[in-house]
Amino acid sequence: MSDLRQRFFIEDSPIRGEIVHLEEALQTILAKREYMPAVQSLLGEMLSATALLASTLKIQGRISLQIQATGTFKWAMAECNHLGEVRALADYEEDPRFAEGTDSRTVLASLTNPVLFINIEPEHGERYQGIVPLDQPTLAGCLIQYYDLSAQIPTHIVLATNSQRSGGLLIQLLPRNEEEQEFVDEDLWPRLTMLTETLKPEELTDLSANEILYRLYNEEEVRLPEAEQLKFGCTCSRERCANALIQIGVAAVHESLEIQNPIQMDCQCCNTRYEFTAEEALGLFGEHLS
């Protein structure tokens, strides 16, 4: 049951949903660095959230959640692409609060000047960035509020992480036309969101998608397409490193080359090293070594 995304439909209703479980990918990410317990929890939740949100997009590309702050906690990101590849990373200074508990709320409550971005980057086409107010105690709460206010798609999300795995569940009320509206059970959405809230964190992380769906919605007819595999995967590439060099500018590249030649760029997510010789780095700007 590890590392799967299961879509589901409530029959004869405009409600669809997703359940995700991440275990191997989460372990791979947590093994790269020694994260403090509350940070592990936040990364697990961000990872499940991006895997859920990615399923709501119909694009080839990736979606990421990114937290930025100015206190001891600096930033965190989690990303999922259309192939079901996920990655996540965080940077912070030691803070005793992050070791006290294993609850992501501890980190969220500690943030100074926090901003949460949702980035959607299609392979072809325009990028989108939304800003999610971080004014709820939980990440799920912030995302629910964002979907209700900004995206105007009634959405309910629950997230949970333990030291082994992270889980997430999303349900959405899809837009209907007038004709469809006539046949809709108006109580269904409030009923299902209330039921969803009764799911305990340990049930979300430990039960299979089938068990969760039965536990919550056994009075409804639930249809399940085949589950999708999720896995750890890094989207770093030589091309992205080259773009990063172009962004910092030719003067900064000259400076870097004085300190280090070839320039070495290590991906912090997967530890891959990319090297650019002076000729290659300056070639990006049309400069040649004389």
Of positions 265, 269, 281, 282, contacts Zn ion by CB under 5 A:
269
CB of 76 to Zn ion, least distance (A): 16
Nearer to Zn ion by C-beta: 189 or 274? Answer: 274
User: Site mask, Zn ion, residues 205-244, x = CB under 5 A?
Assistant: -----------------------------x-x--------
User: What beta strand segments (E) does 23-72 contain?
Assistant: 61-68
User: Site mask, Zn ion, residues 56-85, x = CB under 5 A?
Assistant: ------------------------------
Nearer to Zn ion by C-beta: 57 or 236? Answer: 236
CB of 269 to Zn ion, least distance (A): 4
CB of 271 to Zn ion, least distance (A): 7
Of positions 115, 151, 257, 267, contacts Zn ion by CB under 5 A:
267
Give the number of residues in contact with Zn ion, rule: CB under 5 A.
6
Crossing angle for the helix pair 238-248 and 250-259, nearest 10 degrees? 110
Q: Following CA atoms 156, 137, 75, 196 in sequence, which dihedral angle do they give, to the nearest 10 degrees?
A: -20
Taking the C-alpha atoms of residue 15 and residue 115, their distance in angstroms, rounded to an integer, is: 30
Q: 3-state SS string over 200-227? A: CHHHHHHCCHHHHHHHHHCCCCEECCCC
Taking the C-alpha atoms of residue 157 and residue 30, their distance in angstroms, rounded to an integer, is: 23
Q: Is residue 227 within 8 Å of 184, Cβ to Cβ? A: no
Nearer to Zn ion by C-beta: 116 or 241? Answer: 241
Q: Is residue 230 within 8 Å of 22, Cβ to Cβ? A: yes
Of positions 270, 280, 284, 287, contacts Zn ion by CB under 5 A:
270
CB of 238 to Zn ion, least distance (A): 11
- Largest CA-CA distance found in the chain, in angstroms, rounded: 76
Phi/psi-derived region of residue 96, left when phi > 0, alpha when psi is between -120 and 50, beta in every other case: alpha
Nearer to Zn ion by C-beta: 92 or 232? Answer: 232
Nearer to Zn ion by C-beta: 234 or 278? Answer: 234
Q: Which stretch binds Zn ion (CB under 5 A): 60-68, 116-124, 205-213, 266-274?
A: 266-274
Nearer to Zn ion by C-beta: 120 or 269? Answer: 269
What burial class does residue 178 get, using C-beta atoms within 10 Å of its C-beta: 0-12 exposed, 13-18 middle, 19+ buried? exposed
CB of 270 to Zn ion, least distance (A): 3
Q: Which two tokens stand for residue 151?
A: 């995206």
Q: Which stretch binds Zn ion (CB under 5 A): 14-22, 221-229, 257-265, 270-278?
A: 270-278
Taking the C-alpha atoms of residue 59 and residue 212, their distance in angstroms, rounded to an integer, is: 28
> In the complex, which residues of this chain contact Zn ion (CB under 5 A)?
234, 236, 267, 269-270, 272
